[in-house]
Amino acid sequence: MKKLFYFTTIVLLGMVVSACNPAKETQAIITPPVADKQADTLTGNRIDNYYWMKLSDEQKNAEQKDEQTQKVINYLTAENDYLKASLKHTEALQEKIYNEIIGRIKQTDESVPYKDNGYWYYTRYEQGQEYPIYCRKKETLEAAEEILLNVNDMAKGHSYYSITGLSVSEDNNFLAYAEDSVSRRRYTVYIKDLRTGKLVEEPVPNTEGQVTWANDNKTYFYTRKDSVTLRSRWIIRHKVGTSFKNDPIVSEEADETFYTGIYKTKSKKYLVIWAGSTLTNHYQILDANNPEGKFKEFTPRERGLEYSIDHYADKFYIVTNLDAQNFRLMETPVAKTAKANWKEKIAHRKDTLLQGIEIFKDYLVLSERANANTLMRIIDQKTDKKHYLDFGEQAYTTYPSVNLDFDTELLRYGYTSLATPSSTYDYNMRTRERKLLKQQEVVGGHNPADFVTERQWATADDGTRIPMSIVYKKGIEKNGTNPTLLYGYGSYGASMSPTFSSTRLSLLNRGFVYAIAHIRGGQEMGRQWYEDGKMFKKKNTFTDFIDCAEYLIEEKYTTPEKLFASGGSAGGLLMGAVVNMRPDLFKGVIAAVPFVDVVTTMLDESIPLTTGEFDEWGNPKNPESYMYMLEYSPYDQVKPQDYPNMLVTTGFHDSQVQYWEPAKWVAKLRELKTDNNKLLLRTNMETGHGGTTGRFKVYRETAQEYAFLIDLAGIKE
Q: Hey, which residues are catalytic here?
A: 569, 654, 689
Provide the 3-class DSSP secondary structure of residue 162.
strand
CA separation, residue 74 to residues 55, 411, 471 (Å): 13, 54, 42
C-alpha separations of 570 from 58, 268, 391, 599, 706 in Å? 26, 36, 31, 14, 21
Helices 660-672, 67-86: crossing angle, 10 deg rounding:
60
292 neighbors 271 (Cβ within 8 angstroms): no
* Cβ atoms within 10 Å, residue 640: 8
Phi, psi of 67 (to 5 degrees): -60, -45
Q: How far apart are CA 557 and CA 551, in angstroms?
A: 9
Contact present, 356 and 319 (Cβ < 8 Å): yes
C-alpha span between 260 and 283 (Å, rounded): 10
Count the neighbouring beta carbons within 10 Å of the beta carbon of residue 145.
13
How many other CB atoms are found less than 10 A from the CB of residue 550?
16
Burial 168-199 (b: 16+ CB within 10 A, else e): bbeebebbbbbbbbbbbbbbbbbbbebeeeee
**Which one-letter amino acid corresponds to residue 43?**
T
DSSP secondary structure letters along 545-609 = HHHHHHHHHHTTS--TTTEEEEEETHHHHHHHHHHHH-GGG-SEEEEES----HHHHHH-TTSTT
